[in-house]
A = this chain, B = another copy of it.
């Protein structure tokens, strides 16, 4: 039960990740080869790829938003948008541990086109999940009872750093599959039928997801540029409110001048 073996595995994984981040921070993501990382970590390349499914995952294994989970787990009576807004506000207010390591990671991400693209890809995946969560699909989506305005003050320090990842770190390398026959998407690719509710959910998910990604990017860039995380968090709170006001109230103001 002790899992002496498990322990060694955990430490190996940690070691690989650490040395990789160190090299990336020193020389940039694209300038470090996986061979170097493996050698520096004292393992074979093939071993490295058993612990991390791709080079990208060495950086992104922790970066993951599970918006769908937030929506699904929201307390009854709360609208999805409000749940998401509060989730992000809580994230912005949470003290960020290990700032240095985090800053380095963000710097590496922001400085690498390949990695920002990978972040985008991750977001695309979570978007599909969010769309399903928004659909009154499976179970009771909205009790409609509209709890009273704004009480329910959100248990202060409850954790919820992004920690909620379902299946390990995304960023899988080979999606290869059978060529001849049918499609082979992660998601079954929603039926092309003309269900306006499904499309509405998909559109809403896309908008929300894109907005959250933009917030995340802005935050990353600020931190990567050297702003202390606490300060960046403070700014992020304002940004979250702006973003969700836009989401809720729409962009009709676009084209008029005084936007505030």
Contacts and interface: CB of A to CB of B under 8 A. Distances in A.
Interface of A: 27-28, 30-31, 78-82, 110-111, 113-114, 117, 120-121, 124, 134, 141-147, 150, 152, 175-180, 183-186, 189-190, 192, 194, 196-197, 199-200, 202-204, 206-211, 213-214, 218, 221-222, 225, 227, 235, 238-239, 242-243, 246-252, 254-260
A245 to B, nearest CB: 9
A207 B210 contact: yes
A203 B194 contact: no
A42 to B, nearest CB: 23
Given A194-B238, A247-B250, A250-B249, A259 B183 contact: no
A257 B81 CA distance: 14
Closest 8 CB pairs of A and B: A79-B255, A31-B179, A250-B250, A210-B210, A28-B179, A206-B210, A192-B222, A113-B175
Given A120-B124, A214-B203, A142 B259 contact: yes
Contact of A204 (B134, B180, B251): B251
A186 B113 CA distance: 8
A199 to B, nearest CB: 6
Nearest to A172: B113
13 contacts: A27-B180, A30-B175, A80-B255, A110-B189, A111-B185, A142-B258, A144-B255, A146-B256, A192-B218, A196-B238, A197-B259, A210-B210, A247-B250
A218 to B, nearest CB: 7
Contact of A251 (B145, B196, B208): B208
Nearest to A221: B192
Contacts of A208: 251
A36 to B, nearest CB: 12
Of A81, A177, A250, A258, which is in contact with the most chain B CB atoms at under 10 Å from its CB? Answer: A250
A249 B247 contact: no
A192 B142 contact: no
A142 B256 CA distance: 7
A232 to B, nearest CB: 8
Nearest to A127: B210
Given A175-B113, A221-B190, A259-B142, A247 B207 contact: yes
